[in-house]
């Protein structure tokens, strides 16, 4: 493998154009509720599992989950499919404890190193991506953030710790060709320090460009003092959507990542067809229009730097008869990225049947164990995706309360934005946390032998393949 470099605005391997095309590895070194099947945050569920099983067996519970979730067999599967790159989502807590800042955990690095060696063996590149940073870079559940505070941008201590962790990663991986690069952070949101509200998010969001530019320049300089060669990826503000206030590229070997989730990939309805609150029409032309008008694409074109769509994807857990529609939307999205010479990694590789290329078997033992809690999540709306396609009493009642508060305050804000902001705090935050003891109790009295058995459901050999999606992916991975 050659160390990837940027030359004349393109990613090169030994002076030949190279395309990062592949998938994100969520649910491994950063757990997520809809991927791994628990309610709430990784930190919260780890605590409750250890409360029920004890420290030793509770630790074993998660170690066996990670052992099975992503291993050499997964790398082999992805290589055969034609994947050139995996984007590995990292939660800083796997590498550093809050009570021992700047002291790095060898266990987390050992697990990561094992996968990097498998990437080297099978010649798949890896982007290391900090999905959760100290102090939280955004307010949402996928950042291991239960209460919705985003303290990173206003506390130097947290910025120092992120710099320290990236410097440690750079020291360990300097010169390693299998590392495609470092993505400084996932989905930054620089100006919602106390959570989402209708007055400071959605249509009223205003980036703090001064702080995000300063942080990016500091992190790049700190990494470059140790590793002058690896590509560094920086993402637009507001969850990878806003780029118009980012500073122009200020160093060599910089690339930029954007996120682009399409309404037609979520559904419901037939594709091509009408989607969303505005009932807009989506087809291949709409995908291309959306992408070429994305601030991330425009920024990279203006500055002649690589554009990487580091997250996008469809959801396949809606009406069974519409799964083919979601795949057709994904196909057109992939074709658009290839035709526009964009790099891409889809979200996500493996989950419980929402977005995954492969999914857990719904008849597996662990899926049956957690089924009652999954039903509670649906009823409460305590997870963003499980309640999308069915009536959800929790969301209905939350909407009533959100509207009541807005009307009582006589506040001039968008009703839908107010409801969504409230949902993040009350449902994916508080309600999801309320379910964590119930989830943990489902595993009471389990032994390590029991855990070995049930966690085997996460292994690729026991998962189900989304064959219709994989056929499309194989075609688009080999394009050009």
Q: What is the pLDDT of residue 405?
A: 97
pLDDT at residue 443 above 70? yes
Predicted pLDDT at 97: 97
* Exposure of 323 in the CB half-sphere (CA atoms within 13 A): 14
Please give the angle made by the CA atoms of 286, 291 and 293, to the nearest 5 degrees: 95
pLDDT at position 306 over 80: yes
Biggest CA pair distance of the chain:
64
In whole angstroms, give the CA distance from residue 16 to residue 254.
Answer: 18
Instruction: Work out the angle between the directed axes of helices 448-455 and 55-69 (0-180°, nearest 10).
Output: 20
Residue 480's pLDDT is 61
pLDDT band with cut points at 50, 70 and 90 for residue 355: very high
Share of the chain above pLDDT 90, in %: 97
Q: For the residues 444-463, what does the mean pLDDT come to?
A: 98
On whether the CB atoms of residues 243 and 236 are closer than 8 A, the answer is: yes
CB-based contacts of 309: which residues, under 8 Å, 6+ apart?
A: 257, 258, 259, 260, 296, 337, 342, 343, 344, 345
pLDDT at 141: 86
- The answer to whether residues 440 and 58 touch, using CB atoms and an 8 Å cutoff, is no
Range 128-140 average pLDDT? 97
Question: What span, in angstroms and rounded, lies between the C-alpha atoms of 188 and 66?
Answer: 26
Q: Any idea which residue has 């990173």 for tokens?
A: 152
110: exposed, middle or buried (Cβ count in 10 Å: 0-12, 13-18, 19+): exposed
Which two tokens mark 316?
């396949």
170 to 104, 223, 255: CA distances (angstroms): 13, 6, 17
Average pLDDT over residues 12-34: 97
What is the C-alpha separation between 95 and 56, in angstroms, rounded?
A: 19
Chain segment 145-166, per-residue pLDDT in tens: 988 999 999 999 999 999 999 9
Q: 120-138 in b/e burial notation, b at 16+ Cβ within 10 A?
A: beeebbbbbbbbbbbbbbb
Residue pair 243/297 in contact by the 8 Å Cβ criterion: no
Given a cut of 90, whether residue 86 has pLDDT beyond it is yes
Q: Looking at the predicted structure, is the pLDDT value of residue 224 above 90?
A: yes
Domains of the chain: 5-28+70-360+463-477 (3.20.20.80)
Mean pLDDT, residues 246-264 taken together: 97
Q: Which residues contact 137 (CB under 8 A, 6 or more apart)?
A: 143, 150, 152, 153, 185, 186, 187, 188, 189
Q: Which tokens sit at 165? A: 């962790």
The average pLDDT across 185-193 equals 97
Q: Taking the chain, what is the end-to-end CA distance rounded to the nearest angstrom?
A: 20
- Among 457, 456, 440, residue whose Cα is nearest residue 57: 440
Nearest to 230 by CA among 109, 126, 107, 323: 126
Average pLDDT over residues 439-443: 98
**pLDDT digit string (tens) for 389-412?**
788 999 999 999 999 999 999 999
Contact 201, 148 (CB under 8 A): no
Q: Are 197 and 406 in contact (CB under 8 A)?
A: no
């Amino acid at each position: 493998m050659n160390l990837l470099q940027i030359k004349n605005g393109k990613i090169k391997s030994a002076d030949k154009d190279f395309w990062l095309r592949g998938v994100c590895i969520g649910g491994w070194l950063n757990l997520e509720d809809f991927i791994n099947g628990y309610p709430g945050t990784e930190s919260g569920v780890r605590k409750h599992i250890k409360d029920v099983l004890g420290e030793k067996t509770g630790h074993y519970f998660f170690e066996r989950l990670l052992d099975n979730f992503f291993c050499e067999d997964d790398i082999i599967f992805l290589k055969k499919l034609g994947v050139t790159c995996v984007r590995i989502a990292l939660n800083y807590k796997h590498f550093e404890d809050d009570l021992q800042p700047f002291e790095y955990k060898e266990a987390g690095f050992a697990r990561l190193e094992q996968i990097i060696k498998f990437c080297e063996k099978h010649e798949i590149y890896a982007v290391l991506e900090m999905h959760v940073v100290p102090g939280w870079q955004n307010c949402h559940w996928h950042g291991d953030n239960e209460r919705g505070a985003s303290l990173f941008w206003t506390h130097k201590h947290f910025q120092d710790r992120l710099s320290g962790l990236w410097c440690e990663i750079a020291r360990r991986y300097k010169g390693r060709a299998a590392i495609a690069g470092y993505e400084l952070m996932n989905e930054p949101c620089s100006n919602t320090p106390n959570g989402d509200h209708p007055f400071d998010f959605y249509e009223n969001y205003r980036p703090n460009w001064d702080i995000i530019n300063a942080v990016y320049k500091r992190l790049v300089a700190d990494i470059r003092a140790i590793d002058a060669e690896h590509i560094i990826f920086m993402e637009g503000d507001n969850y990878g959507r806003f780029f118009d206030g980012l500073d122009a590229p200020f160093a060599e070997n910089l690339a930029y990542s954007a996120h682009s989730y399409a309404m037609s990939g979520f559904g419901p309805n037939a594709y091509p067809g009408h989607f969303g609150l505005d009932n807009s029409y989506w087809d291949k032309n709409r995908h291309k229009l959306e992408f070429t008008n994305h601030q991330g694409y425009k920024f990279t074109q203006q500055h002649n730097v690589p554009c990487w769509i580091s997250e996008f994807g469809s959801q396949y857990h809606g009406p069974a008869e519409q799964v083919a529609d979601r795949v057709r939307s994904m196909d057109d999205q992939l074709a658009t990225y290839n035709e526009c010479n964009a790099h891409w990694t889809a979200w996500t590789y493996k989950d419980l049947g929402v977005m995954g290329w492969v999914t857990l078997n719904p008849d597996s033992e662990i899926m049956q164990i957690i089924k009652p809690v999954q039903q509670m999540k649906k009823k409460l709306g305590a997870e963003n995706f499980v309640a999308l396609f069915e009536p959800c009493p929790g969301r209905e009642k939350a909407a009533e309360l959100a509207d009541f508060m807005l009307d009582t305050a006589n506040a001039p804000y968008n009703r839908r934005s107010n409801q969504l902001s409230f949902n993040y705090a009350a449902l994916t935050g508080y309600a999801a946390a309320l379910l964590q003891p119930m989830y943990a109790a489902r595993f009471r009295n389990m032994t390590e032998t029991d855990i070995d058995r049930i966690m085997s459901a996460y292994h690729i050999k026991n998962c189900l393949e989304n064959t219709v999606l994989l056929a499309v992916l194989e075609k688009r991975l080999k394009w050009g």
